[in-house]
């Protein structure tokens, strides 16, 4: 399928299944390594993906299958990466996306509690990172592009940095893309790529980014290969239809509930009016 400029359509790398397909292939290791290094602000020597099966076809299965769970070769740090494209059911900025934030804590706790092997001393535990790449605003405050949370007290003193929940805000891509590519940091380049690689209006910016950063060049090569694969496109369409059906069901339930409430309010108002007449 082609865009209006005659170039091939690219699937969105910020969609969870496409993201996993892009970064878990054997040839994509340089891209994954560079992405993690930029997110964690430290140079990783090597990384191994521990759940490298392709995204499943059964869209009704648990969403967690789309995460990327990996381990660093140098210090055995554990990292779990997940893309979140839409808010969880019931979450809003008004309730500070409580379910999503609590889920991140749960995933991080589970990841850290399941240290590989037995007989490990507490002092020898590996670092664990839960990385949430978000395509919507999660925090109510004016957050940084990368927000990293560790254990600290009210005065800011750290108990431990052995675990960290890391949030990446893709919604800042529009503003970042206004900067010259040469002035973008490593993580800014990744954010623009993940948020805009499939948008034809940003094609020139993406091409500049690809030339500047080797890891993104590898990721883009994987992405174009995936986008040309009819099976991958079919899985993407299936996931998108499932998401649309889910949103329709939620909207329908909300509509029916609002209708019930409105009918109830009308009945109450009518009864009050009758009581007022009798009085």
Tens digits of residue pLDDT in 10-50: 899 998 889 999 999 899 999 999 999 999 999 999 999 98
pLDDT tens figures, 174-219: 999 999 999 999 999 999 999 999 999 999 999 999 999 999 999 9
Same domain for 218 and 94, yes or no, is: yes
Q: Position of tokens 């969609």? A: 15
The verdict on residue 9 lying in a domain is: no
- C-alpha 60/C-alpha 123 separation (Å) is 41
Instruction: Classify residue 153 as exposed, middle or buried by CB count within 10 Å of its CB (0-12, 13-18, 19+).
Output: exposed
Dist CA 252 CA 249 (whole Å): 5
**Digit-coded pLDDT (tens) for 83-92:** 998 888 888 8
pLDDT at 64: 41
Q: Are 68 and 20 in contact (CB under 8 A)?
A: yes
pLDDT at 4 over 70: no
Is residue 60 a part of any domain in this protein?
yes
User: Same domain, yes or no, for 72 and 191?
Assistant: yes
Q: Is residue 4 part of a domain?
A: no
Q: Are residues 152 and 246 in the same domain?
A: no
What are the tens digits of pLDDT across the range 212-231? Answer: 999 999 999 999 988 887 66
- Residue 36 in any domain: the answer is yes
Question: Is the same domain home to 51 and 154?
Answer: yes
Specify whether 276 is located in the same domain as 212: no
Q: Which of 272, 274, 227, 180 is nearest to 7 (CA)?
A: 227
The verdict on 22 and 94 lying in the same domain is: yes
Same domain, 120 and 140: yes
Question: pTM for the complete prediction?
Answer: 0.79
93, 203: one domain: yes
Domain count along the chain: 2
Predicted pLDDT of residue 250: 54
pLDDT at residue 62 tops 50:
no
Average pLDDT over residues 274-278: 72
Of the two residues 119 and 103, the one the predictor is more confident about is 103
The domain of 218 spans 16-228
137 and 221 part of one domain? yes
On whether residue 5 sits in a domain, the answer given is: no
Instruction: Judge if 216 and 237 occupy the same domain.
Output: no
Q: Are residues 257 and 174 in the same domain?
A: no
**pLDDT recorded at residue 277:** 72
Domain contains 151? yes
H or E stretch at 34:
helix 29-40
- Residue after which a domain boundary falls, among 213, 228, 243: 228
Q: Average pLDDT over the chain, rounded to whole?
A: 83
Could you tell me if 25 and 67 lie in one domain?
Answer: yes
Specify the pLDDT at position 201. 93
Last residue of one domain, picked from the residues 188, 211, 228 = 228
CA distance 66 to 18: 9
């Amino acid at each position: 399928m082609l865009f209006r400029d005659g170039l091939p359509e690219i699937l969105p790398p910020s969609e969870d299944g496409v993201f996993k397909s892009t970064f878990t292939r054997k040839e994509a290791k340089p891209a994954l390594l560079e992405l993690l290094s930029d997110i964690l602000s430290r140079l990783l020597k090597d990384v191994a993906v521990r759940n490298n099966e392709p995204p499943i076809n059964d869209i009704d299965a648990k969403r967690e299958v789309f995460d990327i769970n990996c381990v660093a070769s140098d210090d055995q740090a554990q990292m779990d990466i997940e893309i979140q494209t839409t808010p969880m059911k019931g979450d809003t900025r008004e309730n500070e996306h409580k379910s999503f934030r609590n889920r991140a804590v749960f995933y991080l706790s589970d990841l850290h509690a399941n240290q590989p092997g037995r007989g490990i001393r507490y002092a020898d535990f590996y670092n664990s990172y839960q990385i949430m790449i978000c395509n919507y605003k999660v925090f109510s405050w004016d957050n940084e592009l990368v927000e990293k949370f560790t254990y600290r007290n009210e005065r800011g003193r750290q108990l431990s940095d052995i675990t960290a929940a890391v949030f990446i805000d893709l919604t800042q891509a529009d503003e970042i893309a206004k900067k010259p590519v040469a002035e973008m940091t490593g993580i800014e380049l990744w954010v623009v790529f993940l948020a805009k690689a499939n948008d034809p209006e940003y094609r020139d910016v993406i091409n500049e980014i690809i030339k500047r950063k080797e890891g993104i060049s590898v990721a883009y090569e994987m992405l174009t290969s995936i986008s040309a694969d009819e099976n991958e496109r079919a899985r993407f369409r299936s996931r998108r239809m499932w998401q649309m059906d889910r949103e329709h069901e939620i909207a329908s339930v909300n509509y029916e509930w609002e209708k019930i409430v409105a009918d109830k309010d009308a009945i109450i108002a009518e009864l009050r009016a009758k009581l007022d007449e009798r009085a």
